Amino acid sequence: MITVTLGTISFPFNRVVQWLEQLLDEKVLNEAIVFQHGATNPGVVSRHPLVRATPFLEFERLESLSKQSNLVISHAGQGSTRGLAAKKVPFVVIPRLASYGEHVDDHQLLFAQSVRPLGVQYCSSYEEIKSSILNPPPAFRGPLLQGPRLVEYLMERYQASETDSRQIAQRIEAGDRQTTSAVESPTHPAEQQTTSAVEPPIHPAEQQLTVSSP
């Protein structure tokens, strides 16, 4: 059995559906497949007799399927990757790319490139995923770096990218939750003018001193 999981974010991952369809047509895939597709339309793949497609899997169910699978194919989310590494199962990841509308940026690709030296295999083309199915990697025996060590490692690996390493570390530690700081709105130039109270001018007639006649 092969388990394919795309996570639950709202961006479609149509490349994976196209690859699965081609792999089934070419009979590269010839065993049962559980396909957790999330927001992605599974199309004709869901109607194939070998495929059981579902938009969502409970964590416990996904964990059980992963342990039963000859191979797990996952999107390259940090949480998913770390979870599969902890389960010691054979897996590969496919990074979502912004150029295909699969995510807002290429942080999954940067992450996959960064953990590849630790033994995590990633695929970016049809030929690579085909090769991984025909020759599955061994079960991951890590461990993948955890907590602060993973943050430090990724900061070092990401220094060559345009993304600020401090922001990446904060995102990883906070589980990709963005921290928003309250910023005071700038003062309008008109509000910056200081108005002084000025007495109205005295009429010339009021400036004359009247002297009483003796």
If you average pLDDT over residues 195-213, what whole number do you get? 41
Which residues belong to CATH 3.40.50.2000 in the chain? 2-142
User: Is the CATH number of domain 2-142 1.20.120.1200?
Assistant: no
- Give the whole-angstrom CA distance, residue 110 versus residue 29: 29
Tell me the residue type at 96: R
- Give the whole-angstrom CA distance, residue 164 versus residue 110: 13
> Which of 139-153, 173-187, 192-206 is predicted with the least confidence, judged by mean pLDDT?
192-206
DSSP string, the chain: -EEEE--S-SS--HHHHHHHHHHHHTTS--S-EEEE-TTS--GGGGGSTTEEEES---HHHHHHHHHH-SEEEEE--HHHHHHHHHHT--EEEE---GGGTSSSSSHHHHHHHHHGGGT-EE--SHHHHHHHHHSPPPPP--PPP-HHHHHHHHHHHHTTSSS-HHHHHHHHHTTTPPP----PPPPPGGGGPPPPP-PPPPPHHHHSPP----
If you average pLDDT over residues 16-31, what whole number do you get? 97
Cross-strand pairs, 122 = 93
pLDDT digits (tens, 9 = 90+) for 138-175: 998 877 765 555 566 666 666 655 455 456 556 656 65
pLDDT digits (tens, 9 = 90+) for 125-145: 999 999 999 999 999 887 776
pTM of the model: 0.70
| Joined tokens for residue 92 | 């590969």
Question: pLDDT category, 52, cuts 50, 70, 90?
Answer: very high
Percent of the chain residues past pLDDT 90, beyond the cut? 60
- Give Cα separations from 54 to 19, 32, 34, 152 (angstroms): 18, 14, 8, 36
